[in-house]
Amino acid sequence: MASLPRLHTSGRQALMHTRRPMFQFRFNRSLDAQIVYEQLSGFRSLYVHLMAVAALPLWLQAIWPNLFPAEIRFFILALWGGLLALAAWAAIMEYLARRKLTHRLEANHREAELTHAGNP
């Protein structure tokens, strides 16, 4: 039974392939989970760093109360709150991606043990 080639995207590459062994399929799923985890970790780090930059005018406002007009203070505070929400979302998604990655790696490890146990 011939299978049609299908397009599989992983990271930035698009590969054409036909049938693959099961271990390679599971490896690619683990690799995809690793890429998603790394991207979410980077997004979380970016949002936290942007929060730190946006906090500087807030601290300056705390030191000098009349430094910025009320509209700008509100904008800075809203920006910081939005970045906080994005950082919290990215942290939650990063945690879920880490759990998925751990599950996939454990499944690969169990399969490798079973494969090696069958071949002395």
Q: How far apart are CA 41 and CA 94, in angstroms?
A: 6
Short-list 45, 44, 54, CA closest to 81: 54
Of 25 and 39, the structure prediction assigns the larger pLDDT to 39
Average pLDDT for 111-115: 77
What's the token pair of residue 74? 């509100």
Q: Answer whether 103's CB lies under 8 Å from 32's CB.
A: no
Average pLDDT for 104-117: 81
Q: How far apart are CA 54 and CA 65, in angstroms?
A: 17
In this prediction, residue 4 carries a pLDDT of: 43
Q: How far apart are CA 48 and CA 55, in angstroms?
A: 10
